[in-house]
Amino acid sequence: MARKSEEVFEEQIIKTEYSDVMQKSYIDYAMSVLMARAVPDVRDGLKPVQRRVLYAMHELGLKYDKPYRKSARIVGDAMGKYHPHGDSSIYEALVVMAQDFKKGMALVDGHGNFGSIEGDGAAAMRYTEARLRRVTQEALLADLDKDVVDFVPNFDETEKEPSVLPAKIPNLLVNGTEGIAVGMTTSMPPHNLGEVIEGIKAYMHKPEITVAELMEYIQGPDFPTGGIVTNKDELLSIYETGSGKIKIRGNVEIEQGKAGKMKIVVTEIPYTMIGANIGKFLTDIVGLIDSKKTSDIVDISNQSSKDGIRIVVEVKKDANVENLKNMLIKKTKLEDTFGVNMLAVADGRPETLSLKDIIVHHVNFQRELNTRKYNTLLKKELDKKEIQEGLIKACDVIDLIIEIIRGSKEVKIAKRCLVEGITEGINFKSRISKKQAELLRFTERQAQAILDLRLSKLVGLEIEALIKEHDTTLKNIEKYKDILTNPKTMDKTIIKELDDIKKEFAVERKTRIENLEEATFGEKKIEEAPVYFLMDRFGYARMIDVPTYERNKDTIETENKYVIPVLNSGRICIFTSTGDMHTVKMMDLPLCKMKDKGVPIDNVSNFDSTKEDYIYLCTLNDVIMQKLMFVTKQGMMKQVYGTEFDVLKRTVAATKLSDGDSVISVEPIIDQRTVALITKDGFVTRFAIDEVPLKKKGAVGVRGMKLSPSDEVTNVFYMAMGDNPVCKVKGRNIEVNKIKLTKRDTKGTKLRG
Residue 5 pLDDT exceeds 90: no
Residue 91 pLDDT exceeds 90: yes
CA dihedral for 237, 239, 242, 245, sign (positive or negative): positive
Residue 229 pLDDT exceeds 60: yes
The pLDDT value recorded for residue 21 is 73
The pLDDT value recorded for residue 444 is 86
395 or 208: which carries more pLDDT confidence?
A: 208
In which element (H, E) is residue 628 found?
Answer: strand 627-632
177-180 and 185-188 strand pairing = antiparallel
CA dihedral for 637, 638, 642, 648, sign (positive or negative): negative
* Mean pLDDT within 558-570: 92
Using CA atoms, how far apart are residues 546 and 79, in angstroms rounded to an integer?
Answer: 53
pLDDT band at 456 (very low <50, low <70, confident <90, very high): low
Using CA atoms, how far apart are residues 276 and 201, in angstroms rounded to an integer?
Answer: 39
Using CA atoms, how far apart are residues 76 and 122, in angstroms rounded to an integer?
Answer: 17
**Residue 237 DSSP SS3:** helix
Residue 7 pLDDT exceeds 70: no
pLDDT digits (tens, 9 = 90+) for 339-357: 999 999 898 888 999 999 9
Q: What percent of the chain stands above pLDDT 70?
A: 94
Nearest to 630 by CA among 583, 662, 673, 665: 665
The pLDDT value recorded for residue 248 is 95
Which runs of E-coded beta strand occur in 241-388?
243-249, 251-256, 262-268, 297-302, 311-315, 335-341, 343-346, 349-352
CA dihedral for 423, 424, 427, 431, sign (positive or negative): positive
Is the Cβ–Cβ distance between 571 and 652 less than 8 Å? no
Alpha helices in 408-486 (DSSP H): 411-420, 431-438, 444-452, 460-485
pLDDT digits (tens, 9 = 90+) for 417-444: 888 888 887 888 788 888 888 888 888 8
pTM over 0.85: no
Nearest to 357 by CA among 367, 370, 371, 343: 343
Per-residue DSSP letter, 139? I
Using CA atoms, how far apart are residues 381 and 477, in angstroms rounded to an integer?
Answer: 6
Residue 267 identity (one-letter amino acid): T
Is 556 exposed, middle or buried, given 0-12, 13-18 or 19+ CB atoms closer than 10 A? middle
CA distances from 75 to 51, 57, 92, 116 (A): 13, 9, 10, 21
Helix then strand count (H, E) for the chain reads 21, 35
* Mean pLDDT within 9-27: 70
CA distances from 379 to 142, 146, 392, 407, 747 (A): 19, 11, 20, 35, 73
* Mean pLDDT within 610-633: 92
Is 102 exposed, middle or buried, given 0-12, 13-18 or 19+ CB atoms closer than 10 A? buried
Per-residue DSSP letter, 505? H
The pLDDT value recorded for residue 563 is 94
* Mean pLDDT within 545-573: 92
Q: Buried b vs exposed e over 582-607: b needs ≥16 C-beta within 10 Å?
A: bbbbbbbbbbbeeeeebbbbbbbbbb
Nearest to 403 by CA among 373, 431, 363, 372: 431
CA dihedral for 70, 72, 75, 77, sign (positive or negative): negative
pLDDT digits (tens, 9 = 90+) for 27-60: 666 566 555 567 899 999 999 999 999 999 999 9
φ, ψ at 412 (rounded to 5°): -65, -25
φ, ψ at 218 (rounded to 5°): -100, 100
The full DSSP string for 509-551 is --SEE-B-PPP--PPPP----EEEEEE-TTSEEEEEEHHHHHH
452 or 190: which carries more pLDDT confidence?
A: 190
Mean pLDDT for all residues in the chain: 88
* Mean pLDDT within 193-218: 96
Is the Cβ–Cβ distance between 598 and 553 less than 8 Å? no
Is the Cβ–Cβ distance between 172 and 148 less than 8 Å? no
Q: Which residues contact 441 (CB under 8 A, 6 or more apart)?
A: 419, 420, 421
732-735 and 702-703 strand pairing = unpaired
Per-residue DSSP letter, 258? G
The pLDDT value recorded for residue 199 is 96
The pLDDT value recorded for residue 455 is 67
Residue 81 identity (one-letter amino acid): K
Per-residue DSSP letter, 300? E
pLDDT band at 364 (very low <50, low <70, confident <90, very high): very high
The full DSSP string for 386-399 is HHHHHHHHHHHTHH
Provide the annotated active-site residues.
Answer: 127
First-last CA distance in the chain: 67
**What does the angle CA 560 – CA 562 – CA 563 come to, to the nearest 5 degrees?**
90
Residue 63 pLDDT exceeds 80: yes
* Mean pLDDT within 243-254: 93
**What is the distance, to the nearest Å, from the Cα of residue 750 to the centroid of all Cα atoms in its chain?**
46
Is the Cβ–Cβ distance between 203 and 214 less than 8 Å? yes
Q: Which of 186-190, 415-419, 528-532, 563-567 has the lowest mean pLDDT?
A: 415-419
The pLDDT value recorded for residue 712 is 93
The pLDDT value recorded for residue 34 is 53
The pLDDT value recorded for residue 565 is 94
pLDDT digits (tens, 9 = 90+) for 671-685: 889 999 999 888 999
